[in-house]
Amino acid sequence: MSRILLVEDDDLIGTMVRLVLEQDGHQVDWHTSAEDGADHLSTTRFDAILLDISLPGMSGLELARKIRRSGTGTPIVMLTAQDHTPSKVAAFEAGADDYVCKPFDMVELIARVRAQIRRSQGRLELPSDRLSTVGRAKLDMDARRLLDADGNEITLSDKELELVLLFARHPGRVLTRADILDEVWGMDAMPSERTVDNFIVRLRRWVEPSPETPRHIVTVRGRGYRYDP
């Protein structure tokens, strides 16, 4: 189930959008102000964000800029009655991925939201400098390396890099050892589940403030591991 943040101050539109998205299988968190939406974003990870441009207080454009300045790459779809080129350009420059004009067809909206979520799945969200925070470390995608809290370089093997990426792509999701073996080593490889545990031990040394009491790469007893940013 995908989780979607909806920021829309029109009660009728907000009710209809939430209804059709929930019927499509999504979980929708609806707020009527950008300020409330921003507060929710600080504590919850979403798969897509739907923003009205004209909102009381902070506008949808301002919230989009704030989201992008934070380095978050979650897809943003703007919902607006402003159907003219300058408004569309302003939305895309603010960081929007798509732009839907009111009144809009709900079937088209669902299709656009699905497309944005589909494109973002499996893609590591990175700010433009290609550095992503993973626990107390920084992941440099281009150089295939980690920098620890002191700025020291840790060169990653291919499997170590793939393990870091797997967790970074799925924050909050429990990954079983079988999931990790399949995604990192592949179906044709024959490592044991103990191999996963050994890699996790090494990863914790790099990203955890206290590897003995991990709070980023967490063991979920009887199930596997979960990455908590």
3-state secondary structure the chain: CCEEEEECCCHHHHHHHHHHHHHCCCEEEEECCHHHHHHHHCCCCCCEEEEECCCCCCCHHHHHHHHHHCCCCCCEEEEECCCCHHHHHHHHHHCCCEEEECCCCHHHHHHHHHHHHHHHCCCCCCCCCCEEEECCEEEECCCCEEECCCCCEEECCHHHHHHHHHHHHCCCCEECHHHHHHHHHCCCCCCCHHHHHHHHHHHHHHHCCCCCCCCCEEEECCCEEEECC
| 132-149 confidence digits (pLDDT tens) | 778 888 877 656 677 877
Which amino acid is it at 182?
A: D
- CATH number belonging to domain 3-120: 3.40.50.2300
Average pLDDT for the chain: 84
* 129 has a pLDDT exceeding 70: no
In this structure, which long-range contacts are made by residues 181-188, counting pairs with CB atoms below 8 Å and at least 24 apart in sequence? 184/159, 185/159
CATH of the domain spanning 131-227, picked from 1.10.10.10, 1.10.357.10, 2.130.10.10, 1.10.443.10: 1.10.10.10
pLDDT recorded at residue 126:
41
| 199-217 confidence digits (pLDDT tens) | 999 889 888 989 999 999 9
What is the domain partition of the chain in residue ranges? Answer: 3-120, 131-227
* 124 has a pLDDT exceeding 70: no
Fold equal for 3-120 and 131-227: no
pLDDT recorded at residue 87:
83
Pick the range with the lowest mean pLDDT from 29-43, 70-84, 138-152, 176-190.
Answer: 138-152
Pick the range with the lowest mean pLDDT from 68-72, 150-154, 184-188, 204-208.
Answer: 184-188
Contact, 189 vs 199, CB < 8 A? no
pTM of the model: 0.55
Which amino acid is it at 200?
A: I
pLDDT recorded at residue 142:
59
pLDDT recorded at residue 93:
87
pLDDT tier for residue 61 given thresholds of 50, 70 and 90: very high
pLDDT recorded at residue 125:
45
pLDDT recorded at residue 134:
83
Contact, 135 vs 163, CB < 8 A? no
pLDDT recorded at residue 127:
43
pLDDT recorded at residue 220:
93
pLDDT tier for residue 190 given thresholds of 50, 70 and 90: low
Q: For 89-115, what is the mean pLDDT?
A: 88
* 53 has a pLDDT exceeding 80: yes
pLDDT tier for residue 7 given thresholds of 50, 70 and 90: very high
d(CA 180, CA 203): 14
pLDDT recorded at residue 131:
64
